[in-house]
Amino acid sequence: MDGAPDRVTVRAMVSVLLVEDDPVVRSAVSRALTGLGHAVLPVGTALEALREITGGAFDLVVLDLGLPDMDGADALRMMRGVCDVPVIVATARDDESEIVRLLNAGADDYLVKPFSSEHLAARLSAVLRRARKDAAPATFRVGRLTVDLDRREARLDGRELNLTRKEFDLLAYLAAREGKVVPRAELLANLWNLPGRHDDQTLDVHLSWLRRKLGERAAQPRYLHTVRGVGFKLTAAE
Ligand code: CA
């Protein structure tokens, strides 16, 4: 069910790579993040984290510094070499010089363990807010379609579209990745919080409604293209 429009949904829903070797801490933090409505991929080593970061798109990394296979600062530097995803480092040591060293190595913020889920949530949203201010535009334009995240408004040919919350989230997610094929599993994980799922009718239902509101048909797409067996992409008509 779609609730009342919520202007922060797209921004609040993020995919987090959690790097933590302690299984107890890992599952607790994982639960906390899921409880906050985020999609979480938990891994236990720096090497796994680097592999995931190379292959996937994450909005944020929570990186434990006491990993078995690599020094935290080295792991951080290697991540920075691959992409500029925001990284919050989690350290057991409340050591100022160590924290300064990590911030200098490219960490966006830090948490001293043990931390509460409220503390994690606060750090996470502050870091994402800063990252978005730096990078992501609040409005996406694809052809004659505009999607304004701040106002949660989508317009086609200047006319405002009357979208449900989920339809808007879906459109915004695809618009932010214009021209890129977004796999079904990624949409289900990030917008419906159903990680590991590939097939779900709810996605098709929302897509078909969105398509109708965009005034197009699957057989003759203008913006919303189905890539059979893979996913969807939003692109301006050629
Ligand atoms: Ca550890």
Say whether both 97 and 158 belong to one domain.
Answer: no
| Confidence (pTM) | 0.55
Q: Are 43 and 49 in contact (CB under 8 A)?
A: yes
Say whether both 113 and 206 belong to one domain.
Answer: no
Residue pLDDT tens, the chain, 238 long: 343 333 333 445 689 999 999 999 999 999 999 988 888 999 999 999 999 998 878 989 999 988 999 988 889 999 988 888 899 999 887 778 888 888 888 899 999 988 998 999 899 988 887 877 666 567 889 999 999 987 889 999 999 999 999 999 999 999 988 898 999 988 998 888 887 777 778 899 999 999 999 999 888 899 999 988 889 999 986 5
Q: How much distance in Å is there from the Cα of 117 to the middle of ligand 1?
A: 18
Q: How much distance in Å is there from the Cα of 72 to the middle of ligand 1?
A: 10
* Among candidate residues 9, 8, 10, 56, the one with its CA nearest the CA of residue 18: 56
pLDDT of 105 reads 82
Q: How much distance in Å is there from the Cα of 124 to the middle of ligand 1?
A: 20
Query: Dihedral of CA 224/229/231/234: which sign?
Result: negative
Say whether both 127 and 171 belong to one domain.
Answer: no
Q: How much distance in Å is there from the Cα of 175 to the middle of ligand 1?
A: 38
pLDDT of 2 reads 41
Beginning with the edge strand found earlier in the chain, give each strand of the sheet holding 39-43 in spatial order. 39-43, 15-19, 60-64, 87-91, 109-112
Domain limits for position 228:
139-234
pLDDT of 7 reads 37
Q: How much distance in Å is there from the Cα of 68 to the middle of ligand 1?
A: 7
Q: Are 10 and 169 in contact (CB under 8 A)?
A: yes
**158 by DSSP, 3-state: which?**
coil
Q: Are 234 and 225 in contact (CB under 8 A)?
A: yes
Using the 3D structure, point to which of 90, 114, 132 is the last residue of a domain.
Answer: 132
Q: How much distance in Å is there from the Cα of 132 to the middle of ligand 1?
A: 29
**Within a domain: 59:** yes
pLDDT of 133 reads 66
Domain count of the chain?
2
Say whether both 71 and 37 belong to one domain.
Answer: yes
Domain at 151, CATH number: 1.10.10.10
Q: How much distance in Å is there from the Cα of 189 to the middle of ligand 1?
A: 26
Q: Are 18 and 43 in contact (CB under 8 A)?
A: yes
pLDDT of 238 reads 55
Using the 3D structure, point to which of 82, 112, 132 is the last residue of a domain.
Answer: 132
What is the spatial distance between Cα 38 and Cα 15, in angstroms, rounded to a whole number?
6
DSSP H or E segment with residue 27: helix 23-35
Secondary structure percentages of the chain, helix, strand, coil, to 5: 40, 20, 35
Say whether both 171 and 221 belong to one domain.
Answer: yes
Q: How much distance in Å is there from the Cα of 95 to the middle of ligand 1?
A: 16
Q: What separation, in Å, do the N-terminal and C-terminal C-alpha atoms of the chain show?
A: 35
What is the spatial distance between Cα 63 and Cα 124, in angstroms, rounded to a whole number?
12
Q: How much distance in Å is there from the Cα of 19 to the middle of ligand 1?
A: 9
**Within a domain: 4:** no
Q: How much distance in Å is there from the Cα of 191 to the middle of ligand 1?
A: 30
Q: How much distance in Å is there from the Cα of 170 to the middle of ligand 1?
A: 36
Using the 3D structure, point to which of 132, 159, 194 is the last residue of a domain.
Answer: 132
Say whether both 21 and 126 belong to one domain.
Answer: yes
Cross-strand bridge partners of residue 91: 112
pLDDT of 61 reads 95
Say whether both 89 and 166 belong to one domain.
Answer: no
Q: How much distance in Å is there from the Cα of 114 to the middle of ligand 1?
A: 12
**Cα dihedral 175→178→181→183 (10° resolution):** -30
Q: Are 193 and 34 in contact (CB under 8 A)?
A: yes
